[in-house]
Amino acid sequence: MSKTLVEKIWDAHVVKSEAGFPDILYIDTHLIHEVTSPQAFDGLRKRGLPVFRPQQTVATADHNVPTLNQLQPIKEELSRFQVDMLTKNCAEFGIELYGLGHPFQGIVHVIGPELGITLPGKTMVCGDSHTSTHGAFGAIAFGIGTSQVEQVFATQCLLQQRPKTMKIEVNGELGKGVSAKDIILYIIAKISAAGGTGYFIEYAGSTIEALSMEARMTICNMSIEMGARGGLIAPDQITYDYIKGREFAPAGEEWDKALAYWKTLYSDADAKFDSVLTFDAADISPMITYGTNPGMGMGISAHIPATGDQAVSEQASFQKALDYMGIEGDTELVGKAIDYVFIGSCTNSRIEDLREVAEFVKGRQKAENVIAWIVPGSKQVEQQAIAEGLDKIFESAGFQLREPGCSACLGMNEDKIPAGKYCVSTSNRNFEGRQGPDSRTFLASPLTAAAAAITGKVTDVRTLLNEPVHA
């Protein structure tokens, strides 16, 4: 019988399937961090249980770590307590921890792929909704709550309903200044912040196939922003080339065996999806969000929709979002003065993102009214950036290169956007207060964020790409 990629991987991990019950799904790799794990460890203690497969569990500290002076004790007491608790729990339950100071430390969704832990055909979970990032390798990867973290600790399994499947095809060549972030913001704007709920999405088509692994991760990362349980892309030569030689990737005979299996991981030509959507890459411009959920996005040069363009029942919520953002419907966003630029998060903090920003800002200067933070996704990304001299480029352009963590994506550490201030951010959520109480977020690509830092305003980066730069 023909199967979709999701069905192939799912079926290979079903321990038990019984009518009237969710499947018992085996989990190959469990990633954990300091924020959503402590109550799960507590649960184990109360039940008197060990972690069933500690060697299939990997921990890092990322959500509330500082991005300056990481080797000094964390100043903020509750954050320090939570990070210390992770260290203690990992030691007690025998889990490998890449904590602060470790060369592998970083955002959980950045380190999995770069260490070769994320592999095609795996099932992977983490108490974090952006776990879908790992789907870029052709893995079933999804975010879970803390009760489920405890469940995976205790059994290495999860009770899960088989998901519905959706295929999103994007075909054709991307325009100048348009990147993976724009593709996913475009799709979410088209189908809404709830349009993927209940589905696992497979991204396909010639545009997706031409993307690097970093770009594919950006796409899969934001699947949750349309409500999807996960997103994935069939592995191909680009995937294999990325994985080969990484720290924990299979090698030698194991590699050959793994590769033979990975080559079976694609949706059969006549496989049935519950839903199929197709988009044309030529229709996608650099994108920006104007509202307070990721579905409220538009081509950067477009006009913000007016209240009244929506269904009557949605108008009050729409107007509430514009009021929060301090903007008006039916106006342009281009030219709007901004205060902060944040380049980072599990969506856009990989070496390729930093290289793209460096190439653009080289020989340029950030605007005086803007504070520009670049927060690498991991220690390895940070070291690579320094080795390539990107740190010098950022410094002379007036951008601060900080130390790795989730940072201003969710403002659990000191990196908060002040009340009322505007931030062009490469992160994944523009919810009210997400980057700090009463902060205002415009989501965009690294290139669009860099352009805003240079001009001090929301800017269509395409207008700067042909401009001569004096290095």
Partner 1 sequence: MRKFEKLTSAIVPLNIENIDTDQIIPARFLKATTREGFGENLFRDWRYNGDHSLKADFVMNNPAYKGRILVAGKNFGCGSSREHAAWAIQDAGFDVVISSFFADIFKGNALNNGLLPIQVTDAFLAEIFNTVEKDHAATLEVDLENQTVTIVASGAQEGFEINAYKKSCLINGYDDIDFILNQKHLIEEFEQTK
Radius of gyration of the chain (CA): 22
Q: CB of 320: closest distance to partner 1 in angstroms?
A: 7
**Closest by CA position to 364, among listed 388, 341, 385:** 341
Contact flag: residue 446 with partner 1 (CB under 8 A): no
Continuous segment of H or E residues that includes residue 452: helix 446-455
Residue pair 285/175 in contact (Cβ under 8 Å)? The answer is yes
Q: CB of 33: closest distance to partner 1 in angstroms?
A: 11
Report the residue from 91, 419, 465, 469 that binds partner 1 according to the rule CB under 8 A: 419
Q: CB of 156: closest distance to partner 1 in angstroms?
A: 7
Q: CB of 3: closest distance to partner 1 in angstroms?
A: 19
Which residue in this structure is represented by tokens 């729990």?
Answer: 89
**CA distance linking residue 230 with residue 114, whole number of Å:** 20
Q: CB of 211: closest distance to partner 1 in angstroms?
A: 25
Which residue in this structure is represented by tokens 């980066």?
Answer: 461
Stretch that binds partner 1, among 172-180, 193-201, 358-366, 389-397 (CB under 8 A): 193-201
Contact flag: residue 87 with partner 1 (CB under 8 A): no
Angle subtended at Cα 10 by Cα 7 and Cα 13, rounded to the nearest 5 degrees = 150
Q: CB of 112: closest distance to partner 1 in angstroms?
A: 16
Residue pair 125/131 in contact (Cβ under 8 Å)? The answer is yes
Contact flag: residue 212 with partner 1 (CB under 8 A): no
Contact flag: residue 261 with partner 1 (CB under 8 A): no
**CA distance linking residue 465 with residue 471, whole number of Å:** 15
Helix, coil or strand: residue 183 = helix
**Under 8 Å CB-to-CB from 241, ≥6 apart: which residues?**
none
Contact flag: residue 99 with partner 1 (CB under 8 A): no
Residue pair 161/179 in contact (Cβ under 8 Å)? The answer is no
Report the residue from 293, 425, 445, 448 that binds partner 1 according to the rule CB under 8 A: 293
Report the residue from 24, 259, 302, 464 that binds partner 1 according to the rule CB under 8 A: 24
Residues that bind partner 1 (CB under 8 A): 15-16, 20-22, 24, 26, 35-36, 38-39, 42-43, 47, 52, 63-64, 78-79, 81-82, 85, 127-129, 143-148, 150-151, 154-159, 161, 193-194, 197-198, 224, 227, 229, 292-293, 295, 313-314, 316-317, 320, 410-412, 419, 429, 431-434, 437-438
